[in-house]
Chains A and B, each alone.
Chain A
Amino acid sequence: MARISIEGLDVSFGGVRVIDGLHLEIPRGAFFTLLGPSGCGKTTLLRTIAGFIAPDAGSLRFDDKDMTHVPAHRRGIGMVFQDYALFPDKTVFDNVAYGLRARKLEPAAIRTKVGAYLERVGMSGFETRYPAALSGGQRQRVALARALVIEPQVLLMDEPLSNLDAKLRVQIRESISDLQREVGITTVFVTHDQEEALALSDRIALMNNGRIEQIGEPEPIYTAPATAFVADFIGAANLIDAEVLGPGPLPDQVRIRLEGRELIAFAGGEVATGKAFVAARPEDLRFCADGMETANALPGTILRKRYLGFKISYRVRLPTGRAIAVDLHGRTKETYDEGQSVMVLFDPHASIVVTR
């Protein structure tokens, strides 16, 4: 188990900067997720930590040991690959024993350890099978056992769930989480799936264009996105042009002009006056019937209504003509129809001012 410290990391491929002056501190034993769209540099960062990519500049340390120039096979990492990367010509047992044999353990010790870890991932009894005879989920469990059995300092996982179907993904996700807590190993997990990130992580780093946009625990990332990118990437958010006018009635509130009206919104930190965005999640918005004069609301017209079972999804046109999404609970008694004029309520705590 080790703390990972990254300082001033630069990685480029063929002149293109993929990771740009990145600083990151991953605490000991944390489940740390690198989240972001494809091409944001998250996999490159993971592979740099693994030692498969040599950085152009910067340093990487596990605890106090400088790892920047240590070759991959001497870093003491366990890695789980997106396509499992099980050795197809070796049985489940031989796959898991591979790293132990490389470390020249006694056969008896190898047998015990392999057995123990296969048991842990729920794959006892599959020792003599070949990878081709396993399902996707089973392969992923074996890959996990193979990575953990060598008792690495850090566990690196590159989108390990992306090749599984939705139900299995949740199942394996839970077993990864349990296992990680049980072993207590520092884990770096790469994904583009925000639900996975929110469900699994102690901390999430949201990456974009080779930089970290925001880093924090799942809840603040969701409830208090720092940038328009984060707000848009995590959950669906309406991003509406706004102008910050000045401080609001409460310390973390500001007055804004939105679609020609003055509203109160939430601001996580210091916000300069002037142009900004307001991020409002569809499920945080409410309707009330037109005509009622309401504070912190904008008038709108319902363009479209979609019944989705657990929610009803509306598309609403605001005064300037821009359309936003509003979600109501599926069992709500309120009925609003297409063409109807409504007031859209912006909860001051859930309407977040973010920088452009």
Chain B
Amino acid sequence: MIPRQMRSVWFLLACAILVLLIVFLAWPLINLLSASVATVKGTNQSGWANFFAERKYSEALFNTLLLGAIVTAAATFVGVALAYFTARFDFPFKWLIAMLPLTTLIVPEVIAAQTWLMMLGNNGLITTLLGSAGIPLPSFYGWPGLVIVMTFIYYTYVYIGTLAAIRGFDVQLEEAAQSLGTSPAESRLRVMVPVVLPAILATSLLVFTLVVGNFAVATILGHKVQLLSVLTYLSFVSEVGADPVMQSTLASASIGIVAVVLFLQRWIISRKRYEIAQGRGARATRLQGLPAIALAAAAFVIVIVSVLPLVTVVVGAFTHTRGPVMYWGQFSLASIERVFINAPDPIINTLLYASTATLIGIALSVVASYLVVKKRNALTPAIDYLIMLPMAISGTVLGIGLVVTFNTGWLAMTGTAAIIVVAYVVRRLPFGVRNASSTLYNIPNSIEEASISLGVPPLASFCKVILPLMAPAIGAAAVLTWTTTVSELSASVVVYSAGRETTPIQIFRLIDTGLNGRASAYGLALVVMILIPIFIAVKIFKLELFAAKG
């Protein structure tokens, strides 16, 4: 029977994708989780007993949760306030704020951490300037640095989510509340807040999981503050002999935390999603006088602070250095020359691995989301679930899982470029799938059926009718996947081997040795690699990149 055969084309594709997901995602995770209950070398304790017995680990757990809570609270405060004021008020320089989503995208975490250090670290520009003026700054390492840098990295997530929710809110509801006798302020509090709250909670919880999984900032700025992600990484690279059980236990602990938080997030979203029937967005109120100046100033500070890493890295790349010392104000091309001419390998590696991973990732995303959205069968719920799983695991954990699993055996990949590409693809898959499926939901089934009814077989109908309609979304997803892939650090730093350093890994290593000039030059290269596709997509192909994000 031919209909069965046609269906089996999709069924075979679903099988293939499921096998890939099981091999490269589920299997490594299962390996990791099962290792955590084994016995630790030299003791007769299991990893978990050790975890709760040793002070170092319980301290790390406590610190991780505390840092998560503080950063989430701070980022939520900044993000919500900014979103509310930009949605409901007009003030000078408001357009600047529109650039904010861009800054999170184009400033990789490792560069953010590095540039903050170049400003406020022990030898930082501001530290030395103020120091010579007789104002000693407290050390930026540890809690102050972790909280400030992470807050400024993550508040944009809250900002974007909250802004969308406030814009989607039907202002007539507020008017209805006023007509029923509550004051404007009270109406807003009692009508708008409950409707917008789920979006805020959802993005806050996302920020929490990102903080728990954060590797770059935690490692570079953590210093003496014990954190789970840092300990996990250290237990993996430890010179005194990696401890496979402890690294698994630590990884499992962070998986556990994130799983609980994501479960909470799902629960909140499913319980409290309100449909706004028809929307009439609120008109922004034009502010004048002092409030306008205050808001503009606040927004200005936030934008400046967000963009500062970019400026610092560019200036730093052209600044004269000797070893770790930066001679601010004296310019030279030495760092640039060194990086681009003498040691361009990390840049070439990044281009090679990231482009391969982007191509594979996007192809997989398109097919997988098509199957999940349009061609449901017995396998697609499993695909849907597995494909979103990388959101719940940090890069470090994924990387360790991959190394542990593919170290030996029939698919030994450790030490090859392939394992870096696999890590890239798996980490960014949820991103691509989310983008692709949101467009697919907007393409009615009848379009495809119309093509079939006109005599074009199903697979050909998909290629002739659906793919062209998805093209802009695929393009946008490809660019966004690329930008987040070239800056990927936490998984690749675990799986890479000598000679296969990518640009972020090289920056990370240079910061460790204090060579900020060269790190800035690589940082500049990284920012350029990120900006060029964005520029091409927005200016030449007129893609709506930021509609796809979120």
Contact = CB atoms under 8 A, between A and B. Distances in A.
Contacts, number: 76
A72 B453 CA distance: 6
Q: Could you say which of B1, B447, B454, B458 has the most chain A C-beta atoms within 10 Å of its C-beta?
A: B454
Q: Could you say which of B1, B446, B456, B468 has the most chain A C-beta atoms within 10 Å of its C-beta?
A: B446
Contacts of B461: 73
Nearest to B469: A89
B225 interface: no
Contacts of A98: 451, 454, 456
A81 B454 contact: no
A159 to B, nearest CB: 11
Interface size class on chain A is: 20 to 34
Contacts of B452: 51-52, 72-73
A82 interface: yes
Interface in A79-116: 79, 81-83, 85-89, 98-99, 102-103
Interface string A232-273: 000000000000000000000000000000000000000000
Nearest to A152: B453
B449 interface: yes
A143 to B, nearest CB: 8
Interface in B417-468: 444, 446-447, 449-458, 461, 465, 468
B343 interface: no
A147 interface: yes
Contacts of B134: none
A70 interface: yes
B3 A81 contact: no
Contacts of A76: 455
Given A52-B449, A85-B446, A89-B468, A70 B455 contact: no
B528 interface: no
Interface in A114-160: 143, 146-147, 150, 156
A262 B452 CA distance: 60
B199 to A, nearest CB: 29
A103 B455 contact: yes
Contact of B449 (A79, A99, A146, A150): A79
B449 A85 contact: yes
Interface string A39-76: 00000000000111010000000000000011111111
B13 interface: no
A150 B455 contact: yes
Contacts of B458: 71, 73
B457 A78 contact: no
A140 B169 CA distance: 33
Nearest to A72: B452
Contacts of A279: none
B135 interface: no
Nearest to A84: B446
A50 B2 contact: no
Contacts of B451: 87, 98
A78 B452 CA distance: 10
B431 to A, nearest CB: 25
20 contacts: A50-B453, A71-B2, A71-B6, A71-B458, A73-B453, A73-B455, A73-B456, A73-B461, A74-B455, A78-B453, A78-B454, A79-B450, A81-B449, A85-B450, A87-B451, A88-B469, A98-B451, A98-B454, A99-B456, A143-B450
Top 5 closest A-B pairs, CB basis?
Answer: A99-B454, A85-B446, A79-B453, A85-B450, A81-B446
Given A69-B2, A73-B456, A82-B446, 8 more contacts: A71-B6, A71-B457, A73-B455, A73-B461, A83-B446, A85-B447, A87-B469, A150-B455
